[in-house]
Chain A
Amino acid sequence: GAVVSQHPSWVICKSGTSVKIECRSLDFQATTMFWYRQFPKQSLMLMATSNEGSKATYEQGVEKDKFLINHASLTLSTLTVTSAHPEDSSFYICSAREQKWPTGELFFGEGSRLTVL
């Protein structure tokens, strides 16, 4: 099956620094990728939809300047958490939709756990 890889799996950073998380579709091209945030023991919250070659579409309440999304190629989207603070600590998950799938099936990455000290 299709594989989506996230890197890094774990990251710990100091408050005020920026962290970049990569999401790659390894064996298919993804024109659309999605970024989710998951708080402990809670469901996934869609943060933004990332479209290759264009600006990301952010969900209401998500700060665009805080969470920078770049989808430079058909296999890579990046999420940069700028000037991270402890409240940004969370589990970030990306997903990608394979172009050929009519069902809109999404393949999910393993997630990246961010801890801001």
Chain B
Amino acid sequence: GEDVEQSLFLSVREGDSSVINCTYTDSSSTYLYWYKQEPGAGLQLLTYIFSNMDMKQDQRLTVLLNKKDKHLSLRIADTQTGDSAIYFCAEMQDTGANNLFFGTGTRLTVIP
């Protein structure tokens, strides 16, 4: 079955860069996503990358994909206190159903 893993916690100081890592097992993944969940709220799509890309940059966010190692990372530059949240990576497989399989989530804490 699908297996998407993330480390559970990450703490960084305000202004530093944060790197959140994700590994997945299914090689048929087509799109990979990063979502942000603030306390008590739903999910907000941050960015996504197609599986034939290896990097995507969007303002403070940089996504790196190593398809050979099935490793995805999200780098947040100049991390702010408002970035404190849980970050989920998710993969969509080429099965036609188009549902997402989520990682366990990484709780990012930004220290002022």
Contact = CB atoms under 8 A, between A and B. Distances in A.
Real binding pair: yes
Interface string B90-101: 001000011111
Interface residues on A, range: 20 to 34
Nearest to A103: B31
Contact of A6 (B42, B45, B88, B105): B42
A105 B45 contact: yes
Contact of A110 (B30, B35, B41, B100): B41
Interface string A16-42: 000000000000000010100000001
Contacts of B45: 105-108
Nearest to A38: B37
- Determine which residue in B40, B42, B99, B101 has the highest number of CB atoms from chain A within 10 A of its CB, and name it: B42
B100 A106 contact: yes
B99 A105 contact: no
Given A103-B48, A104-B92, A107-B45, A113 B40 contact: yes
Contacts, number: 51
Contact of A93 (B43, B48, B50, B99): B43
B107 to A, nearest CB: 8
Contacts of A111: 40-42
A49 interface: yes
A49 B48 contact: no
A71 interface: no
Nearest to B107: A41
Contacts of B40: 111, 113
A116 interface: no
B102 interface: yes
17 contacts: A34-B99, A42-B105, A44-B102, A46-B99, A46-B101, A49-B97, A57-B97, A95-B43, A97-B98, A103-B48, A103-B50, A105-B48, A106-B100, A107-B45, A108-B44, A109-B42, A111-B41
